[in-house]
Structure 1
């Protein structure tokens, strides 16, 4: 029936009626949602207003909460993490997006597809993004790698089970120094796990996935704004250092929506790295795609460039790309590729690798990554009102880990608190492995529900009061 079809709008009307929210603003939202379906706008507005009035007349006097509109000066948007990544990719120059449908990654690709025809500053210059739903994740990673070799900024998007299938293709991209981006949306694991729930279980998997060793960057966003800018930065890193970049996002961020200021596109910078054109190849008798360099990064060309014949293969290769199992070449090629990690460590500014909040001289230091950021900051604000001083180190580039700067920050604190949404405290273990600095306390959660401010506050308060065990497991959420 029509009433059943409008149950969501009726629920919205009841909710905002109880909260005494401005009905005009809700009216505008309904009109925006159904803008492409004008025939259903009137009946949904009727349902909204009927439910709103009913709630106001029958329940409002017994409801003690209200939601008042606030005035803001800057333009704002209401956006989800998936949408922020999608918009970031498009503005960052992504022109090929491949995917196989999986929760919670598919929403990103579908958003790009819905806006794939782009307006440009030149009316006669068409532009767009090619979005391809592939037959499986193996095809998705390989198609994205192929597109990247032609010079397009290319990416794929997936979650844990899909990333498992991509691993051989990821290794191929690592061997061939392909600048491809993989947006990895974590959810509850292992196996199918909790497909519609949250998790941070895949950090070590993202860092180590693939047979053999090859360089990669793993970048973890902590809020929706970071999702947007990191989506752009991931392409810059991929092309500058010629390697796969894995952009890690928690499901809690992907499917959360919030109102925020419009992204500042003046901050967007696009760096494509060293790409040779035909004129720069003149006089070169043999182009060496994998030339040995001090930085590990070789001058690259896009496929089809005149005068730049070279080969790509899954086998080890020489500087031109021909298959080679010669021992000295193997040693030099391995060292060339892995040397990129040292180059990244030197060339990427520290402010792009970590964030710090609170008191740098505090006795207690929180260490975390990803979506717990919001709950941690709000809990710190509550504790500050009670006179407690805490520092918070958010690690954004989790691989390669900026070990030397972290040692100085970590050793300055008397007590270090690892806050993560996995069973073992994976980041804490990685920090111990790379720096030798251990975590004194763990606050962990792995029930598939995001961390809340209240439970993080309670756990931190116990530590600050000297009443906490070494390991606390949070369980809020139904």
Structure 2
């Protein structure tokens, strides 16, 4: 695809260099792990305020701080969904396989440019350093969506160009700096439609609402979950990243023991789609499997309308990947415990 890789001196530089590249109309992406993502928060806020497309890959590892840098974890979910100062829209995608890492990163790039915001690709150490045989990827099958872009001819037809013009879908047309007729200002301050700094209360309300409108506009374009297993089973799994393989193996073990299950493999963590809350209502027992100590994914699901009474967290945070036999055994124990309580 003719890309350029630049090794920056630190995470702050990497994020700001990517923002500068994106501002010129170039697709830009940065990759890091949890500590680096924490350092990038100010730059991510700049991306949100100035509506500059940015893709960030977070290969989560055991934290906090340096933690266990060679061990897997999924403890940055809350940081990706809610991190940063102030309110601004963002997207968090979660591949489950090496092939999905490619395809969802393509989707992330398209979403970032279409809606002019930061998009996270949530990986973990287990998935990001994995080897697998996948079907051949044909570059010609990759569809590129650059969003609302204006060239000199389009600008010449306009009476006036407003970089942050109010729009029904929340997205304003973008002209790269240097395009004749496309002069604008870019700032981390709140601004008016021309990019001029503004503290006017009415303008502030409208600009915040404009940016937030993107969340509702984009919902039909977000990658939907994949459901595996028995669609009528009352026992369900939810998990992302490296939980994918172990959940599928545990489902086979449970099926051999007469326990029917289904697996809701989330691919969009934020904004969370209604399909996930619906899954938690449809299944009587929902086991959210994740690699952190506080049930970050389960808490996110409950906050977005998930049926808390049906949800049970299975957590691992010792740096050791779950084993399918152990997971299946714990599911059977939890199911027996619930039946005992009901009785």
TM-score for the superposition, normalised by structure 2? 0.95
Pair 1:431 & 2:301 matched: yes
Partner of 1:407: 277
Greater RCO (Cα-Cα under 8 Å, separation 6 or more): 2
Q: CA deviation at 1:464?
A: 4.0
1:334 pairs with 2:204: no
Offset of residue 239 of structure 1: 0.6
Specify the SS of the correspondent of 1:401: coil
Name the structure 2 match of 1:419: 289
- Tell me, in whole angstroms, the C-alpha distance in 1 between the residues paired with 2:313 and 2:94: 20
> Which residue of 1 is the match for residue 118 of structure 2?
244
- SS of 2:73's partner is coil
Q: Over the residues paired in the alignment, what is the CA RMSD in angstroms?
A: 1.7
Contact 2:253 2:325 in 1 (8 A): no
Aligned to 1:452: 323
In 2: Cα distance, 1:467 partner to 1:292 partner: 52
Which ranges of structure 2 fall in alignment gaps of 5 or more residues? none
SS in 1 for 2:134: strand
Deviation of 1:247 after TM superposition, in Å, equals 0.7
Q: Secondary structure at the match of 1:258?
A: coil
Q: Which structure has the larger Rg over C-alpha atoms?
A: 1
CA contact (8 A) 1:462 1:468 kept: no
Cα deviation for residue 263 of structure 1 reads 2.5
**Following TM superposition, by how much is the alpha carbon of 1:468 offset from its aligned partner in structure 2, in angstroms?**
9.3
Report what 2:38 is aligned to. 164
Of residues 260-269 and 154-163 in structure 1, the stretch that sits farther from structure 2 once superposed is 260-269
Contact kept, 8 Å, 1:459 with 1:468, in 2: the verdict is no
Are the aligned partners of 2:280 and 2:306 in contact in 1 as well (CA < 8 Å)?
A: no
Residues 331-410 of structure 1 mapped to structure 2, 5 A cutoff: 331-345=205-219, 347-348=220-221, 352-402=223-273, 404-410=274-280
Q: 1:468 to 1:201 in 2, by over 3 A?
A: farther
Contact 2:277 2:301 in 1 (8 A): no
**3-state SS, counterpart of residue 287 of structure 2:** strand
Q: Would you say 1:190 and 2:60 are equivalent positions?
A: no
Of 329, 332, 339, which residue of structure 2 is paired with 1:461?
332
Distance 1:324 1:432, change over 3 A: same
Matches within 5 A, 1:260-299: 260-299=134-173
1:331-386 CA distances to partner (integer Å, 9 max, x unpaired)? 000000011111112x315xx23111111211111111221011001110122223
3-state DSSP class of the match of 1:454? helix
Deviation for aligned residue 1:277:
0.7
Distance in 1 of aligned mates of 2:27 and 2:260: 44
- 1:75-154 alignment to 2 at 5 Å? 91=1, 128-154=2-28
**Closer/same/farther in 2, CA of residues 437 and 267 from structure 1, 3 Å limit:** farther
Distance 1:223 1:150 in 2: 32
Q: Distance in 1 between matches of 2:329 and 2:141?
A: 38
Measured against aligned partners, the alpha-carbon deviations of 1:377-412 in whole angstroms (never above 9, x if no partner) come to 11101222232210111111100000x323322211
> What TM-score, normalized by structure 1, do the two folds share?
0.69
How far is 1:283 from its partner?
A: 3.5
Residue 322 of structure 1: CA displacement?
Answer: 0.6
2:176 corresponds to 1:306: no
Partner secondary structure for residue 185 of structure 1 = strand
